[in-house]
């Protein structure tokens, strides 16, 4: 599977770092992990349109992880290029209520006319989607938050935290993974609850023994110049700092 970081940024709008979104391409399918604002534009840079997305796995429903779902649904109603294929949405328990509320708030303007949406609430379980084996566990951010472990047909493993603080569940999701994409929202000295910073992120990754670690979701105080030294004190695998449109071929 091929993994592309669409947004390495956060809730704070930035021209350098789009808000959260990751593209997973595998055997002709395009899936997203989160779809924060600007994600659809980032996809266009890869020549992928909103119509090409088969499935979205949401880690949680904060706007910087979810908000481009609104233009995706609205554009899907455009009669010049109506969406026909099913859109599948996978998210933690409680998402269906949130989604119904969103459709209601827009009074029908997001509701599909030419295609179906299949919302799947996945709690802490394993399911298969188009040949990908997907494990979810509750991570330490919001009650709805779920982290993902995705295994492709060749046995390659990728793990995605969304937003999280330190937690055993994320260690398990990232266990021996070929790649773990882990949030690192703030520097150690400004760490806030519900998010990671370099030292706890490095400890989590070392415990998981993931082969490659990609840190992402950097708020403006993050000065990456000092981060590598801090992380490498604890983590001995291969380390990447996400940039928009960075790719991993697993």
Write out the catalytic residue numbers: 64
Which residue, 129 or 148, has its beta carbon nearer to Zn ion? Answer: 148
Which residue, 8 or 26, has its beta carbon nearer to Zn ion? Answer: 8
Instruction: Choose, by CB under 5 A, the member of 34, 68, 163, 244 that binds Zn ion.
Output: 163
Which residue, 34 or 88, has its beta carbon nearer to Zn ion? Answer: 34
Under rule CB under 5 A, residue 62 binds Zn ion: yes
Which residue, 16 or 128, has its beta carbon nearer to Zn ion? Answer: 16
CB of 21 to Zn ion, least distance (A): 11
**183 strand-pairing partners:** 216
> By the 8 A CB rule, do 162 and 233 touch?
no
Q: With CB under 5 A as the contact rule, which of the stretches 62-70, 90-98, 198-206, 228-236 interacts with Zn ion?
A: 62-70
Which residue, 88 or 163, has its beta carbon nearer to Zn ion? Answer: 163
CB of 94 to Zn ion, least distance (A): 14
CB of 208 to Zn ion, least distance (A): 21
Q: With CB under 5 A as the contact rule, which of the stretches 77-85, 99-107, 159-167, 202-210 interacts with Zn ion?
A: 159-167
> By the 8 A CB rule, do 8 and 182 touch?
no
Under rule CB under 5 A, residue 68 binds Zn ion: no
User: How far apart are alpha carbons 74 and 87 in whole angstroms?
Assistant: 13
Q: With CB under 5 A as the contact rule, which of the stretches 63-71, 114-122, 148-156, 234-242 interacts with Zn ion?
A: 63-71
Under rule CB under 5 A, residue 64 binds Zn ion: yes
Q: With CB under 5 A as the contact rule, which of the stretches 61-69, 91-99, 113-121, 153-161 interacts with Zn ion?
A: 61-69
Total site size for Zn ion, rule CB under 5 A: 3
> By the 8 A CB rule, do 31 and 23 touch?
yes
> By the 8 A CB rule, do 158 and 4 touch?
no
CB of 179 to Zn ion, least distance (A): 19
Binding to Zn ion (CB under 5 A) within 93-132 occurs at none
CB of 142 to Zn ion, least distance (A): 7
List contacts with Zn ion (CB under 5 A): 62, 64, 163
């Amino acid at each position: 599977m091929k993994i592309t970081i669409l947004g390495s940024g956060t809730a704070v709008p930035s021209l350098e770092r789009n808000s959260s979104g990751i593209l997973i391409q595998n055997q002709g399918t395009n899936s997203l992990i989160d779809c924060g604002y600007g994600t659809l534009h980032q996809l266009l840079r890869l020549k992928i349109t909103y119509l090409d997305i088969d499935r979205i796995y949401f880690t949680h429903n904060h706007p910087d992880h979810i908000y481009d779902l609104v233009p995706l649904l609205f554009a899907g109603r455009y009669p010049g290029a109506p969406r026909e294929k099913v859109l599948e949405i996978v998210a933690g328990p409680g998402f269906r209520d949130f989604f119904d509320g969103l459709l209601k708030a827009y009074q029908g303007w997001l509701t599909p006319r030419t295609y179906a949406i299949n919302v799947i609430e996945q709690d802490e379980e394993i399911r298969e989607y188009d040949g990908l084996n997907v494990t979810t566990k509750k991570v330490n951010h919001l009650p709805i938050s779920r982290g993902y472990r995705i295994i492709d047909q060749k046995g390659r493993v990728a793990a995605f935290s969304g937003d999280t603080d330190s937690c055993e569940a994320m260690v398990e999701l990232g266990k021996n993974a070929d790649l773990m994409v882990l949030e690192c929202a703030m520097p150690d000295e400004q760490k806030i609850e519900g998010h990671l910073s370099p030292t706890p992120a490095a400890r989590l990754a070392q415990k998981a023994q993931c082969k490659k670690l990609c840190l992402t979701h950097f708020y403006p105080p993050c000065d990456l110049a000092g981060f590598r030294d801090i992380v490498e004190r604890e983590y001995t695998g291969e380390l990447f700092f996400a940039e928009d449109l960075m790719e991993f071929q697993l």
